[in-house]
Amino acid sequence: MIQIAILGFGVVGSGTAEVIEENKALLTARIGDEVNIKYILDLREFPEHPLGDRVVHDINIILNDPEVVLVAEMMGGSHPAYDFTVAALKAGKSVVTSNKEVVANFGAELLELAREHGVSYLFEASVGGGIPIIRPLQTDLASNKILAVSGILNGTTNFILTKMIREGADFADVLKEAQRLGYAEANPAADVEGLDAARKITILAALSFGVLLDPNKITTKGITGITADHIAIAKAFGGAVKLIGHTEQLGGKTLALVMPFFVPAANPVSHVDDVFNGILVDANMLGRALFYGAGAGKLPTASAVVADIIDILSNKTSERKMPVWKVATEADMASSADYVCRRAYLVEGCVRCAEKAKAALKTEECVMLEGGRFAVVSAPMSETEATAAFASTGLEAIVSLPVLD
């Protein structure tokens, strides 16, 4: 029997126990031995839970038990999750986690520490909930150079945007529903302000380009400023407004950003709704691949945690697959002002103004709207170029959005 411990018995932690118990026979067959949850570390007691007798409140009980070979950390937040991870790796225990905050902030160091101690640090559940994306980037796409990764990385905000646009629902009500369903972070500001997606895109950037950016320093905008005017752009051309994380390399530097984009209907990401995530990987040999599925929620996320548990317990060579990440300096970070894409504007003005905007933005894509407004999409250009081009028209944009083609 293989003994493991769970740190944090919230939504994902209790889901992990559920997946292990529910799929016990399958796990035993795949690992070749039975997995037993020996300890559950939490501040609370769970007297009604069938595993309530496994609850402990002192991490040292787990660290000092040589029978425990693996720890699943699902506490959330940086501390004490990071500190307990360091202690577990140093004690020779492999760690799996869904904690994107810890991976994005300390991943390079923790991977190194795991290597030093001959154990594994795996984090499939940290991005995309239950969607396989970490392991495919590391292994299945290993023969490709990754050109860009873009997509919807936060289930809560996609759920909110979908309900607001489709049903005209109220922001606060939908957020409450997302919390009730276990999608939102303990502090949902991390979801709606874009920080959760920023952490995830820095993890994907590190997997793609080997450089771990500081998630607190990349350009990050959330959905709190989204209004009917942004939606009007999507309606004018066909498509949707989505909170997008994007990473690529620019002039040898790594760019990562999170912001609301207009996603035209031709891009499959525009059709990714509700709590689903959709992650587009552009690879130089494969071309584009879309990874789609439940991006948050108890059992989908827990299933990814348990996949890492199975990987480690059934494959003693897991540690060799772990990536090496360089912690980014300022010199490694590309500026979002240099990011080249098409840009959509909603403008108040007549046909003559629209002609002026089309000329300045080097485009023919323009739609006249009711109420003396028009929507126009520029040719691809950087933010710096687009700002200058639009300013030259003397017009004022009501709102503007980058376009994800």
Name the nearest CA neighbour of 163 among 226, 246, 244: 226
Q: Which residue has the tokens 């950003």?
A: 257
- To the nearest whole angstrom, how small is the minimum distance from the Cβ of residue 153 to ligand HSE? 7
The contact mask relative to ligand HSE for 327-366 (x = CB under 6 A, - = no) is ----------------------------------------
How far is the C-alpha of 297 from the C-alpha of 32, rounded, in Å?
29
Q: Let me know: does 157 contact 200? Beta carbons within 8 Å.
A: no
Query: Rule CB under 6 A: which of 293-322 touch ligand HSE?
Result: 295-296
The contact mask relative to ligand HSE for 258-297 (x = CB under 6 A, - = no) is -------------------------------------xx-
Cβ nearer to ligand HSE, comparing 8 with 295: 295
The contact mask relative to ligand HSE for 109-148 (x = CB under 6 A, - = no) is --------------------x-------------------
Q: Do you know the residue count of the chain?
A: 405
Asked whether position 191 contacts ligand HSE by CB under 6 A, the answer is: yes
Beta bridge partners of 255: 248
Q: Tell me the two tokens of residue 313.
A: 């317990």
How far is the C-alpha of 3 from the C-alpha of 264, rounded, in Å?
49
Q: Tell me the two tokens of residue 61.
A: 């009980």
- To the nearest whole angstrom, how small is the minimum distance from the Cβ of residue 220 to ligand HSE? 15
| Site residue total, ligand HSE (CB under 6 A) | 11
Q: Which residue has the tokens 């089309």?
A: 358
Query: Which of 85, 120, 150, 156: binder of ligand HSE (CB under 6 A)?
Result: 156
- To the nearest whole angstrom, how small is the minimum distance from the Cβ of residue 204 to ligand HSE? 13
Span near ligand HSE by CB under 6 A; candidates 49-57, 76-84, 180-188, 307-315 = 180-188
- To the nearest whole angstrom, how small is the minimum distance from the Cβ of residue 182 to ligand HSE? 9
Cβ nearer to ligand HSE, comparing 82 with 183: 183
Query: Which of 119, 184, 341, 397: binder of ligand HSE (CB under 6 A)?
Result: 184
Name the nearest CA neighbour of 164 among 258, 232, 228: 228
Q: Taking CA 143 as the corner, what is the angle to CA 139 and CA 145, rounded to the nearest 5 degrees?
A: 105
- To the nearest whole angstrom, how small is the minimum distance from the Cβ of residue 175 to ligand HSE? 11
310 conformational bin, left if phi > 0, alpha if psi -120 to 50, beta if neither: alpha
- To the nearest whole angstrom, how small is the minimum distance from the Cβ of residue 191 to ligand HSE? 5
Cβ nearer to ligand HSE, comparing 155 with 222: 155
Q: Tell me the two tokens of residue 397.
A: 């944009």
Backbone angles phi, psi at 77, to 5 degrees: 75, 165
Asked whether position 155 contacts ligand HSE by CB under 6 A, the answer is: yes
How far is the C-alpha of 202 from the C-alpha of 254, rounded, in Å?
10
How far is the C-alpha of 215 from the C-alpha of 202, rounded, in Å?
6
Residue of 200, 242, 298, 358 marked catalytic: 200
3-state SS, residue 96: strand
Task: Please report the beta strands in 197-273, taking only residues with DSSP state E, as ranges in sequence order.
Answer: 211-212, 219-220, 239-250, 253-264
Span near ligand HSE by CB under 6 A; candidates 72-80, 153-161, 221-229, 278-286 = 153-161
Active site (annotated) includes residue 242: no
Span near ligand HSE by CB under 6 A; candidates 43-51, 152-160, 282-290, 337-345 = 152-160
Q: Tell me the two tokens of residue 101.
A: 């905050």
Catalytic center residues: 200
Question: Which residues are at the interface with ligand HSE (CB under 6 A)?
Answer: 129, 154-156, 183-185, 191, 196, 295-296
